[in-house]
Amino acid sequence: MPDLTVPVSALSQTALYVAWARHVEAGQPHPLFADPLADHLVAEVADHPALSAFIAQMKVTSSGFPAYHAVRTRYFDDRIGEALDTGVRQVVALAAGVDGRPARLPCPPGTRWFELDLPEMTEFKTALVERSGLPPTCDRVGVAADLLADWATPLRAAGFHQDEPTAWLVEGVLMYLTPEEGDALLTGLTALSAPGSHLLLEHLQVAMLGELGAEVRAGLSKRGVAFRGARDDIADWLETFGWRARAHAGTDPEIGHGRAVGPVPGAWLAAGTRISAE
């Protein structure tokens, strides 16, 4: 069995927290999903000091996050399923963290699932998957890459084919990038997107950079995390890159499956398809 070296960087801790929230969802009376890898993560490292401290901090300043993360997870689960139903057989998750979807979503034969993250998280995730013993539902490929550098080259080297339609998952990423960095990320993934590709994306609402998000930002700053980007023109913004998308507020009952999500965190969830090769 490989050893588990728990990532301790600030953003890595947010990824572990999200996995913890997905584990919590499985204990609800009518869970929106089950995530066995998240359950295994909690069994393995829940007592790690850094993660325990982050969870404790979030319970104080960000009590609404688990309900939102449950709805967010189910939203992207459903949208990925729709992309696979159209014939997409290539998924790329940017800053994938410890997402358990490659071990729990039903994937058609031949589906390749690329997970990009920093080297320490990629190494941790690979070890966690092996230790869990969970059978994959697709061909999962971990790719160590920095989204603020050249990530396209290692993605291609891992077997990504840019002439095939792709489902891009940009979850829990853009709020930690500046607007300029977010634009660069969208430019890069769009250049790699063949016709028929899907884009599944989350972004922060502008209100979270004001009074609405003050308590959350203060709590996150104690753990070394900062929101750096937000916008409210999601559909128009994505159209400028060649994507036709529809965005929902995280509080929208249409995507909530009966769950009530509070105004914090204020976020957008969007799904779109490629409309232009130029």
The residue-averaged pLDDT of 46-60 equals 85
> Tell me, what's the pLDDT at 277?
52
C-alpha span between 129 and 41 (Å, rounded): 9
ω into residue 102 within 30 of 0, thus cis?
A: no
- For 8-26, write each residue's pLDDT tens digit: 888 999 999 999 999 999 9
DSSP labels for 238-263? HHHTTEEEEEEETT-GGGTTT----S
- For 106-126, write each residue's pLDDT tens digit: 999 999 999 999 999 999 999
């979807």: which residue's tokens? 101
The residue-averaged pLDDT of 150-154 equals 98
Helix (H) or strand (E) holding 36: helix 36-45
Strand, coil or helix: what is 66? helix
Q: How far apart are the first and last CA of the chain?
A: 47
> Tell me, what's the pLDDT at 3?
83
> Tell me, what's the pLDDT at 165?
98
> Tell me, what's the pLDDT at 62?
82
DSSP state of 134: P
Q: Encoding tokens for residue 99?
A: 């997402």
Domain ranges of the chain: 65-213+227-274
Q: Smallest Cα–Cα separation from 122: which of 151, 143, 94?
A: 143
Residues above pLDDT 70, as percent of the chain: 99
C-alpha span between 158 and 154 (Å, rounded): 6
> Tell me, what's the pLDDT at 111?
98
> Tell me, what's the pLDDT at 248?
98
> Tell me, what's the pLDDT at 276?
64
> Tell me, what's the pLDDT at 58?
87
pTM: 0.96
Residues above pLDDT 90, as percent of the chain: 86
The residue-averaged pLDDT of 58-62 equals 85
Check whether 151 has a pLDDT greater than 90: yes
Strand, coil or helix: what is 47? coil
> Tell me, what's the pLDDT at 78?
98
Give the CA-trace dihedral at 51, 57, 59, 62, to 10 degrees. Answer: -110
Has domain 65-213+227-274 been given CATH number 3.40.50.150? Answer: yes
> Tell me, what's the pLDDT at 53?
86
C-alpha span between 128 and 14 (Å, rounded): 17
The residue-averaged pLDDT of 31-37 equals 97
Q: How many residues does the chain have?
A: 278
Check whether 204 has a pLDDT greater than 60: yes
**Phi, psi for 47 (deg, rounded to 5):** -90, 5
